[in-house]
Structure 1
Amino acid sequence: MSLRLLRRPLRHPCECWEASTCPWGCPSAPSGSSPPGCRGDRGHARVPGPRRSRQCLGWIAASPVSARSAYAGVVEHSVYVHPGARRRGVGLALLRALIASTEAAGIWTIQSGIFPENTASLTLHARAGFRVIGTRERIGRHHGIWQDVVMIERRSSTVT
């Protein structure tokens, strides 16, 4: 499995999928709604997932949580795996690449929020060394409904 670093930011996180294969029917596709966090945010370092036949199987992105110097080593991340590529090691490969690149850049904490019903993502992150730090109640909206969000983090054992 190989990863490829994008040389330019995506205009939209699902740009790496053909419009006809975007798994969430994102705005880059002809019609539909975006996945959570899929808003074309700027400032993310994007790594497309393992590719086969030029198809992007997933992506991962990270951005600083704050401009304050006290939080210079803390990033929040998002990871998405194409539904057709799940349970094949794509997500773990992306998380491992993110961990290696953030530690090389001096980042000491990677954090994220996951809806509690997304047990596959919670299991994946636990496998990659993330831990649950708590639950924020009714903080995220999903399909117009306020949802709790499980907060997770991974602290580097090499960056201090």
Structure 2
Amino acid sequence: MTTAPAQVAIRPMRPGDADQVLAIYQMGLDTGDASFEVTAPSWHAFDASRLPQHRYVAVGTPAAVGGGTTLGWIAATAVSDRCCYAGVVEHSVYIAPQARGRGVGRALLTAFIASTEAAGIWTIQTGIFPENTASLRLHHAAGFQTVGTRTRLARHHDRWRDVILLERRSTIAGTT
């Protein structure tokens, strides 16, 4: 298991992180290759839709330039409220532009995977646009497998978009 890069701390997301989390979310949406969404939700909507026990932020440590600044976040939603899917979540991870390529995403995924496994989650899934090659590399390096491509899943910015479906199956949770 990897640790956070130097001068970065991973901790649970707090309500006080709302402004920076939503700003990073919007920066990701503005790339056009992060989500079908085009506008970050309100904190109320974000908070209501994400599982509270599996939300993390990466923050610059006090010694870092911009220490205390949120560098990225990760959070999960339930795939279904049906009890048979209790161990399946879908996650999102967003990294601030200035923190990309520095191991922040890997550190967030590592903390998230540990959290979900401890809670008995047996499958983590995500959908990524094929053009988001950095996110695909990150997820594959963290043990996610490509399940398939959902071709022309929906329209986004006036064009049809494919989505690559990835999942990570726990080797410890849900095996009995």
TM-score, length-scaled by structure 1: 0.82
Give the CA deviation at 1:60: 0.4
Task: Quote how far apart the aligned CAs of 1:4 are.
Answer: 1.7
What RMSD, in angstroms, separates the aligned Cα atoms of the two structures?
2.5
Aligned counterparts of 2:22 and 2:74: Cα–Cα separation in 1:
17
1:154 maps to 168
| Corresponding position of 1:16 | 20
SS at the partner of 2:27?
Answer: coil
Which position in structure 2 is the counterpart of 1:49?
A: 58
Once the two structures are overlaid, the 10-residue window that deviates more, 47-56 or 80-89, is 47-56
C-alpha deviation, 1:137, in angstroms: 1.3
SS in structure 2 at match of 1:49: strand
Q: 1:81 aligns with which of 95, 100, 105?
A: 95
**Residue 105 in structure 1 maps to residue 119 in structure 2:** yes
**Aligned equivalents of 1:7, 1:86: Cα separation in 2:** 22
Q: Of the candidates 48, 51, 72, which is equivalent to residue 58 of structure 1?
A: 72
Which sections of structure 2, spanning at least 5 residues, go unmatched? Answer: 1-7, 62-66
**Deviation of 1:68 (Å):** 0.4
**Is 1:133 aligned with 2:133?**
no
Q: For residue 9 of structure 1, report the CA deviation from its aligned partner.
A: 8.5
Change (3 A) 1:69 1:4: same
Confirm or deny: 8 A CA contact 1:49 1:58 kept in the other structure: yes
State, as a whole percentage, how many aligned pairs show the same letter: 52
Distance 1:131 1:25 in 2: 24
Which sections of structure 1, spanning at least 5 residues, go unmatched?
Answer: 27-32
Q: Aligned in 2, Cα 1:43/1:148: closer, same or farther, shift over 3 Å?
A: same
Higher helix share: 2
- Equivalenced residues, count: 149
Q: How far apart are the structure 2 equivalents of 1:17 and 1:156? A: 27
TM-score w.r.t. length of structure 2: 0.75
Report if aligned partners of 1:17, 1:55 keep a CA contact under 8 Å in 2: no
1:92-137 superposed Cα distances (whole Å, 9 cap, x missing partner)? 0010111000001110000000000111110000000000000111
The verdict on how the C-alpha distance between 1:108 and 1:119 changes in structure 2, with shifts beyond 3 A counting, is: same
Residue equivalent to 2:84 = 70
Which letter does structure 2 place at the counterpart of 1:69? C
Deviation at 1:49, TM superposition (A): 1.4
